[in-house]
Amino acid sequence: MTILDLFRLDGKTALVTGAAQGIGFEIARGLSEAGANVIIADLNPEVGEAAASSIGGSFQMLNVTDSGAVRDLAAKLSSVHILVNNAGIVRNTPAEETPDDDWKAVMGVNLDGVFWCCREFGRRMLDAGSGSIVSTASMSGLISNHPQPQAAYNASKAAVIHLTRSLAGEWAGRGVRVNAVAPGYTATPLTKRGLETPGWRETWLGTTPMGRLAEPAEIAPAVLYLASEASSFVTGHTLVIDGGYTVW
Ligand code: NAI
């Protein structure tokens, strides 16, 4: 056994939510390259099916906000060893003008969806006595972004970071580790509109010490570390991958 073997996922099944594109797809690809049998679970079947077949994985249609659908999927898949909660959305509305539906939509995907998946897949991991959960939080759970207003998003990601600690504490003695990653600005469809909005791109790059966005593939290795036995004594941790954003 070499140190690199600790990062291998041969024989493991990994389910990644929101992996039809963007960060989730690169995570799915990375876990697959490490030997896992990868299931992409996403709202978008057209992109998701093609994404799954491109990495030799499979696709499951899933809306993470639907707790019944999450329960049914967890029951259908006999054993998932690794869960990556990655599905997420953002709404850029000033707080004082945020409609109820926008607040609920963001919380529904980014927080409720993470909890439903942790509860349903986590229960089965606890029964099996082992498992690893990694959620895609955000640096937005640690800082408040500017210039764009996104209070619901920031609050949802802060909640994911603390949910991660809470579940880690509950489940540490029963073989299930729970961690998160906190990416900074990353070049995906999610940030495309923001990059095109006058003033945002300059502010985002100017407030990131490395002076650039992350590529989605730069997030995946951290998820592999947290998902695999390489991090066997790590739980409740949020690994920040932000080009230095949070040091300023
Ligand atoms: P993206 O918009 O490119 O991809 C999100 C994926 O999630 C899509 O495939 C979409 O179909 C899926 N999805 C959305 N709602 C869903 C639902 N209810 N159920 C199942 N799937 C659903 O986004 P991106 O940028 O790849 O973001 C992935 C995660 O990373 C999100 O949690 C996001 O908040 C987080 N993040 C992104 C950053 C960025 O700068 N792009 C920075 C920090 C965190």
Give 41-62 pLDDT, tens digit per residue. 999 999 999 999 999 999 999 9
User: Which region holds residue 204: left if phi is over 0, alpha if psi is between -120 and 50, else beta?
Assistant: alpha
Q: Is 149 in the pocket of ligand 1 (CB under 6 A)?
A: no
Count other C-beta atoms under 10 Å from residue 53's C-beta. Answer: 12
> What gap in Å lies between CA 88 and CA 108, rounded to an integer?
9
CA-nearest of 114, 119, 111, 91 to 103 is 91
Pick the atom of ligand 1 nearest to 190's CA: 2
What six digits make up the tokens of 134? 């990694």
Question: What is the DSSP track for 85-149?
Answer: E---------GGG--HHHHHHHHIIIIIHHHHHHHHHHHHHHHHT-EEEEEE--GGGTS--SSS-
- Please name the residue that has the structure tokens 């909660």: 85
Q: What residue ranges do the domains of the chain occupy? A: 4-243
Q: Using alpha carbons only, give the angle 110, 228, 129 rounded to the nearest 5 degrees.
A: 85
What six digits make up the tokens of 91? 């709404």
Q: What is the distance of C-alpha 43 from the center of its chain?
A: 15
Nearest CA to ligand 1 atom 2: 190
Ligand 1 center to 2 CA (angstroms): 34
Please provide residue 70's backbone torsions phi and psi, each rounded to the nearest 5 degrees. -65, -45
58 bridge partner residues: 39
Q: Is 22 in the pocket of ligand 1 (CB under 6 A)?
A: yes
- Cβ neighbours of residue 112 closer than 8 Å, sequence gap 6 or more: 64, 65, 67
Check residue 172 and give its pLDDT. Answer: 98
State what percent of residues in the chain have pLDDT above 70: 100
Residues 15-42: pLDDT tens digits?
999 999 999 999 999 999 999 999 999 9
Q: Is 153 a catalytic residue?
A: yes
Ligand 1 center to 3 CA (angstroms): 31
Residues 108-146: pLDDT tens digits?
999 999 999 999 999 999 999 999 999 999 999 999 999
Q: Could you give the residue ranges of the DSSP H alpha helices within 130-188?
A: 151-171
Model confidence pTM above 0.95: yes
15 bridge partner residues: 39, 83
Q: Is 24 in the pocket of ligand 1 (CB under 6 A)?
A: yes
What six digits make up the tokens of 13? 């099944």
Q: How confident is the model at residue 87 (pLDDT cuts 50, 70, 90)?
A: very high
**Neighbour-count burial for 99-115, b at 16+ CB within 10 Å, e otherwise:** eeebbebbbbbbbbbbb
Ligand 1 center to 218 CA (angstroms): 15
**Average pLDDT value for the chain:** 98
Pick the atom of ligand 1 nearest to 137's CA: 44
Residues 191-247: pLDDT tens digits?
999 999 999 999 999 999 999 999 999 999 999 999 999 999 999 999 999 999 999
Q: Is 63 in the pocket of ligand 1 (CB under 6 A)?
A: yes
Q: How confident is the model at residue 78 (pLDDT cuts 50, 70, 90)?
A: confident
> Under CATH, what is the fold of the domain 4-243?
Rossmann fold (3.40.50)
Q: Is 109 in the pocket of ligand 1 (CB under 6 A)?
A: yes
Nearest CA to ligand 1 atom 31: 88
